[in-house]
Every structure is written in C-alpha cells, then in structure tokens.
A and B are shown apart, each in its own frame.
Chain A
C-alpha cells in the first residue's frame, strides 16, 4: 500500500484565500442502452441473412448485408464484443459466480446459435465481421483436399476446449488475444497480432475462410448445431442434375458429390472400424483424461499468477539471477510471497481438474471425428454439408437448374425453404 503511506507526506494545506479543491472528472463508460442497440442490430442482421440466404437466395443481397455488418460490428464497434469470443465470457460466468455476464454478451453468444438451430450458419453467412473480412479478400479458392479439410477441421474443437479452460479459470481470453482481425478494426495492436492477421488474410485470398474452417471455436459450435437446422441452404431449388457445377462454385468444400456407387463397400468397411472405435471409446477418453491431467503443469504455466509465483520462488531460492518485469513489480508492491504461493496453489489445483476435462474433451473430439468418418451416408445427388456450409450463396447461381427456375418464375422463388433433410 505504497500509495496510502505516501499520502501522509504532505497534508493538504489550509488555504487562506478560500481556495476550493476541484474534483477529478469521472467520465462514464458507454451507455448500457447503446449495447442493446448492438444486440438489436445483430438480431436484425441475422433475420435478414436468413431471409436473403434461404428465401431470396440472393448472393448480392447477402453481400450488401455483409458489408454493412463488417462496417458496423467490425469497424464501428471495433469488433468487440463479438460472438466468436463471447463463449469465453459465458464459460467464466459459469465457473466464477462473482463474474456477471453482460446481457449484450449473452445475446451475442446465444442469438447466432439459435438462428443456426433454425436456419443453419446464417451468422457466418453475412453477419460475423471476421467471416466477412475473409470473404471479401477471397480471390480464387484452391480446393483443399478432403482429408486435409477433415484433419484440420478438428482444430476448432480443440481450440474451443483450450479457450474454455483458460477463460473458466480466469487466466486469459485466448480467443480475443489471438483474434486475427480485431487489429484492423481498431487500427492498432501489437506486432504478433499484425503478423497473424496479415498471414490469415493472405491465406484467405487463396483458401476460402481459413480462420473459419480451421480455427474459429465459435464456428465449431455452429457446426455442431447447424445439422439440426429446420430450414437450410439448398443448392438447387428442385432436382439435382448432377452437373458438379455447385461443388466447383463452393470455395469451402461444403458440397459433397453423390456416392451411391461405392456406398456398399464403404459401409462394410466402415462397420468394422466403427465397432473397434466404439469398443475403444472409453479407453480413449480415459487416456485423454490422463494425458490432460499430466499436462496440467505445462498448461498452468500460461496463467500469469502461476508463472509469477514460479519466478518468485526460483528467485528466492537463488535458482535464477535477476528479475523479470513482473517479479520486480511484485517486489515493489510488497505483498508477502507466501500469499502469492497460496494463491498460485489454489489456481494450480483448479488447473488439474480443468486439464483432465480438457483431455477427455480432446479424446471425445478425436473419436467422434473418426466415427463420423467411418459412417457412410448415402448421397444420390450433390448435397450440402449443413455443418460446413456458411450460406455464402455462391452455389445458388452456379446451379443451372436453379437458374432456369428463376428465369421461369421471376421473383416467386419456389421451395427455397425446404424443411429438414434434403435429397434423401
């Protein structure tokens, strides 16, 4: 409490001229009601995106909306708070009763998921500023081989697990720290962010939405929910003529070709693999949990309190020379190191449990991914994978059937909204 002691140095003088102390101004934060405007904008944008993607089937209208959202949620609101990072606030609020989830953050977390439950990933389609930033720089998409797509597609789920761990334990909001574009939205940030952001943007010119597909943890949640959507994107409003044009048009590998020819062999092959996987399921989960628990010390090192405690301990025992900025600051504050160790031990204990859960989660993700690869779904026509489709609308105009239908009945878009499963 250096400041409190220092306050006694010179008592405020007794002025004889009747001088009045001015008061320090305390300008308040942005009005809370304005954040409700943000939530309202989000709700409206989501509704419009659903309408444009599913009913109007218009990529142009989606593009106009996405430019607006990029400007408003991205540049005007500085990309904060965004849905992508909101799950961290939710995780912290669940784990720490002392932290209150702001209403607008809750809205940003839940609205896109609710919309995904009914209309698929319309949030990614034209609302999410990160998605739009990648969408606008895409020049020419190279096809990512399916196995690479599948393998890297596990990363968002792992990232989700790690980010939830650190957020719930109050260590860091990892997703915000490694947000690729927030630096452009705010026109400021550190060098790491700049390098990462530029790298993602460059990659995004040739690979469709790399952050969305291979990293975005919120996209992982949407991907899980979108297959249950009530209404979803269809490439063709009527019958598919198997021309392959839609699959060529999709830069995100979301359209799968028909596989009726090899379905039987695939099924049999998959079945034995499936049996093995199901048998090994508990084992893999246990192994994941064990490995996670083992890696707790490593994971905990990233927590600022724990790393400071480690450093101070090493210094006190003469294992390292010199001081880091943090240990120097700690020494200046004059807190007893025993307090710090106690605090660190408390956090460390929570990391043990958390890392174990993270390990189980990783095991679960891997097994489920392998199971989904072993299960062959019969496709008689080209089909949109609802989890992967971000409803960008490129395939609508690529489909010759769709074009002729539109030409036939200008304006009256038929059966664009088709309930449930399609073409099965």
Chain B
C-alpha cells in the first residue's frame, strides 16, 4: 500500500463490484431460501423410509447379503393373524419332514431363528428370533408357496440406517423396495390382522 494514485482507481472499481456482489448474494440467499422453503413445506407430508412390498418380493436372498449392515436390517416378520398355525409349517420344516422332528436339519431356517410353541392340538405358534434371523427369506418362500404367506420380509426400522439410496433396493430384482411414509413404516397386512381373525 504505497502510492496513492495507484490504489485509488482499483478501489473504486472494487466498490462497484462489491455492490454487484452484494446484490448477487442477496438474490442467492432469497432464491435458495425460497426454493427450499417451498419444497420442504409442500404438502406437509411425512418423511419417507424404505420398506419391502411383500406382494412383489420373490425371496431371492439378496436381502440377507446386500444390506450395508451385517446382519441385514431386513428380518422375517410373522403376521400372526394371517397364520394357519399348522402343525406341519412349510416355513418351519423343510419339505416332507415329519412334524415331530424338530431337529435343526429338519428346519428350513439356516440359523435356527424360528421358535415354535404348542398352542392347542394340533396348533403351534411360530415366532421369529430377530437376533438370529438374517433375512434370507427361505422360510418366507416356504410359507408363501405352500402356506398362508404369513411370514414376510420387512425392513426393521430400529436397525435400518435409512440410506439415501438403499443398497438392497438397487439390487432387488423384483423392484420390491419402496419409500413409505415414516408414520406407517410397515407393509404388514394389518387390516386383515384385525379382520377375519378378530371375529372369533
């Protein structure tokens, strides 16, 4: 900062530029704020989370392997009201096994995650131990093919990271992953659960 003459002119130029820049900044703040405000407030709808549409899922097994979490955030969920409480459960036993043989090799589940408890003759209740379930869908396939389809794969939201782009969704061959409102984050057949079973 030595000679005055040299500095004066550039400084005036700067101030003009500064005013322009100030206007641009003001416009930028307004545009960004306005656009964002209108997007965020639009509709007052809910945030979304990922969920599996059970009617689309074909139990390919990728849910167990493709989640960014290990074990997967996807677990088998039992819809008790849909279940037939079969003694010979197709989700529980591998094909053509006697119903009284509960040994591990007779069970479909590779991790022994399905527990069965006697209810009354000849009915059993089946429960999923989510700590053991890896979301492979093998039991779901058995139940859907021969039984009631009461076992479904669902993203468990206490585990799911709700990735911006769900890693399983990218690889799901059935396009079964959908974004659902966070208020109703499960696609279980709750109406039917209240329906026929509730009558008795």
Contacts and interface: CB of A to CB of B under 8 A. Distances in A.
Interface of A: 1-4, 6-7, 9-17, 19, 21-24, 26-30, 32, 78, 80-81, 85, 88-90, 93-94, 97, 99-103, 105-106, 109-110, 113-114, 117-118, 172-173, 176-177, 182-183, 186, 188-190, 225, 228, 230, 239, 304-305, 308, 324-326, 328-330, 332-333, 419-421, 424
Given A114-B32, A186-B69, A21 B161 contact: no
A2 B82 contact: no
B33 A110 contact: yes
B162 A29 contact: yes
B21 A228 contact: yes
Contacts of B104: none
Contacts of A230: 21-22, 25
Given A6-B144, A9-B148, A239 B1 contact: yes
24 contacts: A4-B149, A7-B148, A7-B149, A10-B148, A13-B123, A14-B200, A15-B200, A19-B120, A24-B78, A93-B42, A97-B43, A100-B43, A101-B42, A102-B47, A114-B32, A117-B25, A173-B165, A183-B68, A190-B66, A190-B167, A230-B21, A326-B174, A421-B18, A424-B14
A3 B157 contact: no
B164 A97 contact: no
B66 A88 contact: no
B77 to A, nearest CB: 5
Interface in B151-200: 152, 156-158, 160-165, 167, 170, 173-175, 179, 182, 185-186, 188-189, 192-193, 196-197, 200
Given A16-B120, A188-B68, A325-B60, A26 B186 contact: yes
Contacts of A328: 58, 173
Most central of A14, A29, A329 by chain B CB within 10 Å: A29
Given A7-B192, A24-B188, A419-B18, A30 B164 contact: no
Nearest to A325: B173
Contacts, number: 207
Given A6-B148, A15-B120, A228 B164 contact: no
B10 A424 contact: yes
Contacts of B17: 420-421
B84 A421 contact: no
Contacts of B131: none
B112 interface: no
B70 interface: yes
B24 interface: yes
B83 A12 contact: yes
Contacts of A9: 84, 146-148
Contacts of A15: 119-120, 123, 200
A45 B179 CA distance: 31
Contacts of A308: 175
Given A12-B85, A15-B123, A228-B21, A100 B45 contact: yes
A65 to B, nearest CB: 24
Interface in B111-126: 119-120, 123, 125
A206 B197 CA distance: 66
